[in-house]
Amino acid sequence: MLGYAKWWLGSVFGSKAPLVNTLIIHYGCNLRCRHCSIYSSGAEDAGKNKLSYGEVVDDLRLQFGKGAKIAYFEGGEPTAWSDGGKDLGDLIKAAKEIGYKNIGYTTNGTNGFFTGSDVISVSLDGPKDINDLIRGEGVFDKLMETISDSDFTGSIYANMVIQKDNMDYIEETAKAVMDNKKLAGIIFNFITPPPYEIALTPEEKKAAVGKIRELKKSGYPVLNSKRGLELLTEEDWSKKCPYHVTVFIIPDGSHHNGCPMHDTPSCKQCGFAAVREYYLIKRGNISTISEMSSIFAMSKK
Ligand SMILES: C[S@@+](CC[C@H](N)C(=O)[O-])C[C@H]1O[C@@H](n2cnc3c(N)ncnc32)[C@H](O)[C@@H]1O
Ligand code: SF4
């Protein structure tokens, strides 16, 4: 915990050291989810769409040297990344050797898990029919099979992106998570557009957050902090985004503080739960820090 406390104190006194290093290691993906534009062929065709093993390791070292304690691998689909015989397991191993305190990745769960990390975030966008409408036929069953077959000993949590197609299925999704003993809980986000046509209106967001708060109160494993949930209804984070808490590297090798959408119209309709939690952590909100650190801050080894 001492390392995290030092980071926070530094941040209070104006340090811009990152806490989280988020690495979008490639854009490649086997799925085409309705709400996702990251895999888009535009991105795949736009020159460099993958970081090499050497580039990832250099970046892990660079940001660790600047103070980052948490490494998170993202994509595209990170379990489908490979480079000259290296795979995601090798990246996790490298991050561990460099000294990161907590290592995780987000996955669609269709390729099995790499079990060396501390945390795995699995994308779940509804009960079976709704999840598959958004993510593709058969994806729900494949994800559940991956979870039940895995001997992973760290925390697995679900990440839901609320959009028009699943906004009426929040409770059913939370129940599916509660009933699955291998899932530690669920984090709710709103879609960050584009696409704009499936984003919720401000009124719909308020109703959804009201529902999620009720579920949290009645014992469903909702991992958003209480205050983080309230802040989810605030749409425009272009001025408030805690930019320096997380640094991203994207496949062309460029770095982006906050997120790669920084300074785009998407910032005005930001739906990412992590942005709220990072904001609260930076401001020293004790209940958010304790709720988040019990899941995300500690290594399992
Ligand atoms: C880009 S994916 C990469 C990891 C992996 N392919 C997966 O789907 O879990 C990471 C997370 O971002 C979410 N996501 C994708 N597009 C989004 C959007 N427009 N707004 C908010 N979250 C989004 C996905 O649902 C997923 O949970
Ligand atoms: S699996 Fe992940 S990266 Fe692939 S399309 Fe879906 S959200 Fe995007």
Residue 224 pLDDT exceeds 90: yes
If one counts every other C-beta atom within 10 angstroms of the C-beta of residue 13, the result is 7
Three state DSSP letters for 88-148:
HHHHHHHHHHHCCCEEEEEECCCCCCCCCCCEEEEECCCCHHHHHHHHCCCHHHHHHHHHH
Least confident of 72-76, 284-288, 297-301: 297-301
The mean pLDDT of 83-97, rounded to a whole number, is 97
Residue 195 CA: which ligand 1 atom is closest? 19
Residue of 32, 36, 134, 137 to mutate, ligand 2, most atoms within 8 A of C-beta: 36
Q: Report d(CA 17, CA 40) in Å as an integer.
A: 32
Residue 113 burial (10 A CB sphere; 0-12, 13-18, 19+)? buried
The mean pLDDT of 125-134, rounded to a whole number, is 98
The mean pLDDT of 77-82, rounded to a whole number, is 96
Residue 300 pLDDT exceeds 50: no
How do residues 149-195 score in pLDDT, each as one tens digit?
Answer: 999 999 999 999 999 999 999 999 999 999 999 999 999 999 999 99
Confidence of residue 211 (pLDDT cuts 50, 70, 90): very high
> Which pLDDT score is estimated for 46?
59
Has this prediction a pTM greater than 0.85?
A: yes
> Which pLDDT score is estimated for 301?
44
Residue 71 pLDDT exceeds 90: yes
> Which pLDDT score is estimated for 234?
96
How do residues 6-17 score in pLDDT, each as one tens digit?
Answer: 777 777 667 778
Residue 109 pLDDT exceeds 70: yes
> Which pLDDT score is estimated for 263?
81
The mean pLDDT of 90-104, rounded to a whole number, is 97
161 lines ligand 1 (CB under 6 A): yes
> Which pLDDT score is estimated for 262?
82
Q: Are 223 and 182 in contact (CB under 8 A)?
A: no
List of domains in the chain: 2-296 (3.20.20.70)
The mean pLDDT of 135-151, rounded to a whole number, is 97
Residue of 23, 27, 30, 32 to mutate, ligand 2, most atoms within 8 A of C-beta: 32
Core vs surface per residue 190-218: b (16+ CB within 10 A) or e = bbbbbeeebbbeeeebeebbebbbebbee
36 lines ligand 2 (CB under 6 A): yes
3-state secondary structure of 252: coil
* Distance in Å, CA 197 to ligand 1 centroid: 17
Confidence of residue 2 (pLDDT cuts 50, 70, 90): low
> Which pLDDT score is estimated for 43?
52
> Which pLDDT score is estimated for 281?
86
Q: What does the mean pLDDT of the chain come to?
A: 91
Residue 3 pLDDT exceeds 80: no
